[in-house]
């Protein structure tokens, strides 16, 4: 994990150099891009394992880069933002970011979050291969193939962000169990978000919309959410 490749897309040279130096000292291989255009080129040539992405870039928005990467790659993204408003942070997560950190930041926290994200990616890739045959689920018109991180509805692929998929599979693997928002934050995002439970609500709303089946994921008022054990057939 320490030899992972990390691409830093950040136009503030001192910040980019600080991040590159700190991560290099921890054994990571780093490369810097100062704008979105060169950043997308580096993704092709460098093939990073993780992206540190600034929210504000000179030629485009970090959110636009986030959308492109989520649509075409499976690269985890740690957003770097000067925006402290929770709405902006949730927006970044909606667009596919795995985590965010606010400027000014402590380099040790950045490194800790990078390690957390990479550890989760590594566990997702190796943790359940032995019982992959058991990792397929079918619910009337929805099929989930966990080994491929693939979701289909009526034989059509459903495009989910990494966190939307992780949230869905967490619920599906535990049908009937009620999870609090804090539990889902801890389990899916890997650490406590200091009470930002709207992150979970936002992702649940997007999941329901993309699956076009709001009855699968039930709201347990005052607590959180659960995946229903028995889902009624759709009306015809």
* Domain boundaries along the sequence of the chain: 5-126, 130-227
Q: Put the strands of the sheet holding 224-227 in their side by side order.
A: 179-180, 224-227, 217-220
Q: What class does CATH assign to 130-227?
A: mainly alpha
Alpha helices in 47-148 (DSSP H): 62-72, 86-94, 107-126
**Per-residue confidence in pLDDT tens, the chain, 236 aa:** 668 999 999 999 999 999 999 999 999 999 999 999 999 999 999 999 999 999 889 999 888 898 888 877 888 899 888 766 566 666 777 777 888 888 888 999 899 889 888 887 776 555 444 444 457 888 878 889 887 788 999 888 888 877 788 899 989 988 899 999 888 887 787 654 444 677 788 889 889 988 887 788 999 998 999 998 754 443 43
Predicted local confidence at residue 189, as pLDDT: 72
Contacts of 56 (CB under 8 A, 6+ apart): 11, 62, 81, 82
Distance between CA 233 and CA 26 in Å, rounded? Answer: 53
Distance between CA 147 and CA 176 in Å, rounded? Answer: 23
Pick the CATH number of 5-126 from 3.30.450.20, 3.40.50.2300, 1.10.730.10, 3.30.1490.20: 3.40.50.2300
For residue 81, give both structure tokens: 């933002």
For 219, the enclosing helix (H) or strand (E) is strand 217-220
Let me know the angle formed at the C-alpha of 52 by 46 and 53, rounded to the nearest 5 degrees: 105
């Amino acid at each position: 994990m320490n030899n992972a490749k990390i691409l830093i897309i950040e136009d503030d040279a001192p910040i980019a150099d600080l991040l590159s130096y700190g991560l290099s000292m921890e054994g990571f291989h780093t490369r810097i891009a100062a704008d979105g255009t060169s950043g997308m080129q580096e993704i092709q040539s460098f093939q990073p394992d993780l992206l540190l992405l600034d929210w504000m870039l000179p030629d485009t928005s970090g959110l636009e880069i986030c959308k492109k990467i989520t649509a075409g790659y499976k690269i985890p993204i740690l957003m770097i933002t000067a925006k402290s408003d929770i709405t902006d942070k949730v927006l970044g997560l909606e667009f596919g970011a795995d985590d965010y950190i606010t400027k000014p930041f402590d380099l040790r926290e950045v490194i800790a979050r990078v390690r957390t994200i990479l550890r989760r990616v590594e566990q997702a890739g190796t943790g359940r291969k032995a019982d992959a045959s058991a990792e397929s689920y079918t619910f009337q018109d929805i099929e989930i193939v966990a080994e491929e991180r693939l979701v289909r509805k009526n034989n059509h692929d459903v495009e989910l962000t990494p966190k939307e998929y992780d949230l869905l599979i967490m619920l599906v693997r535990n049908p009937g169990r009620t999870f609090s928002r804090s539990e889902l934050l801890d389990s899916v995002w890997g650490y406590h978000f200091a009470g930002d439970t709207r992150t979970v609500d936002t992702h649940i709303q997007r999941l329901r919309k993309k699956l076009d089946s709001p009855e699968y994921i039930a709201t347990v008022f005052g607590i959180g959410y659960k995946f229903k054990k028995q889902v009624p057939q759709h009306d015809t």
